[in-house]
Chain A
Amino acid sequence: MSVINDHDPVTEIYISSAMPGDFFALLKPRVMSLVVFTALVGMMAAPGEIDPVLGVIAILCIAIGAGASGALNMWYDADIDAVMSRTKSRPIPSGAISKSEALGFGLILSAFSVAILGLAVNWFAAGLLAFTIFFYAVIYSMWLKRATPQNIVIGGAAGAFPPMIGWAVVTGGVSLESVILFAIIFIWTPPHFWALALFKSDDYKLAEIPMLPIVAGEASTKKQILAYSILLAPLGVAPWLLGFASIAYGVIATVFGAAFLWFAWRVYKMDEADRKMLPAKKMFGFSILYLFVLYAALLVESLLPKLLNLIGIA
């Protein structure tokens, strides 16, 4: 039982009622699962080998680091999360966790994930992870998000680093291949988020976040979505063109890239009066599938020879 001085009003003392699940929600588990997946692809696609135990620990560190940056983002953005329908049930605005708890949690996990990755694997990968956390929490959340409609263009780099970190875990460095893996997610992020911002623009307006549809208008956003999609479609095929993926990957990337363009074209042609914005919703859904399929194809291609080798076929 705790004991306090009579002069301290009991009402001023905060006693947490947060459950472990609330802290887990601070890590943005859905974003974390995407980070785990893309980092795993980077790790598997990289030339060279890593001990499986260290590989699992590296993925865990990258996941926790990504989760920590999510917690720091929720700490900083608690005020705007409270007014947006998509985010108002998050642990801080819902009252489950205090801001200081989230800050402490995020900082401790950041330090632990970077230190363990550095000690167990290599300090280059750990440095990249530290930079990713800094980029998401400080550059994106604290600076760009509320300052410019280009917030998610530049901030998208934070989500694009995990495959590069996975690659660095195995090779200890960066190469053209890992830059391509980074670039695919980097160029994919703006059309993905702007499709969401189109049909959630009321939310962003309420929170006074300068998303492109609010600042530049829907017509300009649709043009930008199309422009980035035109860049993305050939970039998705680049792993095959540069020779680090097979023609099977090339065919998949071409088909899905063409479909991405078609969805972007449908958004571009979407009527201004259409408030249901079905094409934008479909594009948002397809963009997630697109990234998953491309990275899954790369994962299968990198795992297949290893599996065949393991069972003695190749």
Chain B
Amino acid sequence: MKPIELTEAQVKSRRSRNIAIALICVGLVVMFYLITIVKLGPSILNRAL
């Protein structure tokens, strides 16, 4: 078994991509939250328990 040594550029680009993906995921969470609130509004709480 031989480990792969990433170059400095590969490590840097991977970190940048990871940060970008994290930001996009947060953006999607916010977007889905907003869509839910706008489409359902207060009725989201109006359900049988």
Contact = CB atoms under 8 A, between A and B. Distances in A.
Are A and B associated in one complex? yes
A57 B35 contact: yes
Contact of B16 (A19, A53, A57): A19
Interface in B1-28: 1-7, 9-10, 13-14, 16-17, 19-20
A16 B4 contact: no
Dominant secondary structure of chain B at its interface with chain A: helix
B29 interface: no
Interface in A7-40: 10, 13, 15-20, 23
Given A16-B13, A18-B17, A2 B35 contact: no
A116 interface: yes
A13 B4 CA distance: 10
Contact of B1 (A3, A15, A119): A3
Nearest to A22: B13
A119 B4 contact: no
A51 interface: yes
Given A20-B16, A20-B20, A120 B39 contact: yes
Contacts, number: 55
Contact of B4 (A4, A18, A20, A54): A4
Given A19-B16, A20-B16, A54 B3 contact: no
Given A4-B2, A10-B2, A18 B34 contact: no
What is the interface residue range for chain B against chain A? 20 to 34
B4 A17 contact: no
A17 B38 CA distance: 40
A6 B1 contact: yes
A71 B17 CA distance: 17
A54 B35 contact: yes
A6 B2 contact: yes
Interface centre among A2, A13, A15, A119 (most CB of B within 10 A): A15
B24 to A, nearest CB: 9
Contacts of A13: 4
Contacts of B31: 57, 116
Interface of B: 1-7, 9-10, 13-14, 16-17, 19-20, 31, 34-35, 38-39
26 contacts: A1-B3, A1-B5, A3-B2, A4-B1, A4-B2, A4-B4, A6-B1, A6-B2, A10-B2, A10-B4, A13-B4, A15-B10, A16-B10, A16-B14, A16-B17, A17-B13, A19-B13, A19-B17, A20-B16, A23-B17, A54-B38, A57-B31, A116-B31, A119-B35, A120-B35, A120-B39
Given A13-B4, A15-B10, A20-B19, 4 more contacts: A16-B13, A16-B17, A17-B9, A20-B16
